[in-house]
Amino acid sequence: MKPKVIIYCDGACSPNPGIGGWAALLISPKQGKEKVFTGAEADTTNNRMELTAAIKGLEALKVPCEVDIHTDSQYSDLATYEQPLRYAEGIEYVVVNGKVVLDAGRLTSERPGRVLTRR
């Protein structure tokens, strides 16, 4: 049986974009242990800090775990096996290499990134 871990995470930025920070609290109920991870960025966005908090919390796990993750973010991944290209809800702007690729929830014609593949 995998150990259970609860992660509470949050991130913020003020102004947005601007200076931001994130935190993730990991709790192991069975062991009664808690650990806090934090970080900050000088030039970032609120969305990035929210997602960074969740990612850093998950990256801190040392073994496979059963995880309950709690966040106040309102992102909904709508992609399914049948419709893998559906966009997530709650993310209005995406910037890649300085180019806006998602503007007010709408895809632009910019394609500044590249496809990553496994070797």
**Edge-first strand listing for the sheet containing 99-103:** 94-96, 99-103, 106-107
pLDDT of residue 77: 67
Structural domain boundaries enclosing 86: 74-119
Could you tell me the pTM of the whole model? 0.68
pLDDT of residue 112: 85
Rounded Cα distance between 86 and 49, Å, is 23
Same domain, 11 and 64: yes
What is the number of domains present in the chain? 2
Same domain, 21 and 2: yes
Same domain, 116 and 87: yes
Residue with tokens 């192991």: 28
The CATH code of the domain that includes 5 is: 3.30.420.10
pLDDT of residue 4: 95
Same domain, 50 and 88: no
pLDDT of residue 1: 85
What angle is formed at CA 63 by the lines to CA 20 and CA 46, rounded to 5 degrees? 15
Same domain, 65 and 11: yes
Same domain, 47 and 7: yes
Closest-CA residue to 70 (of 12, 6, 5, 2)? 6
DSSP string computed for 60-100: T-SS--EEEEE-----B----SSSTTPPPBS---EEETTEE
Same domain, 64 and 95: no
Same domain, 63 and 6: yes
Same domain, 14 and 55: yes
pLDDT of residue 9: 95
Same domain, 54 and 85: no
Same domain, 6 and 60: yes
Residues of the chain with pLDDT under 50: none
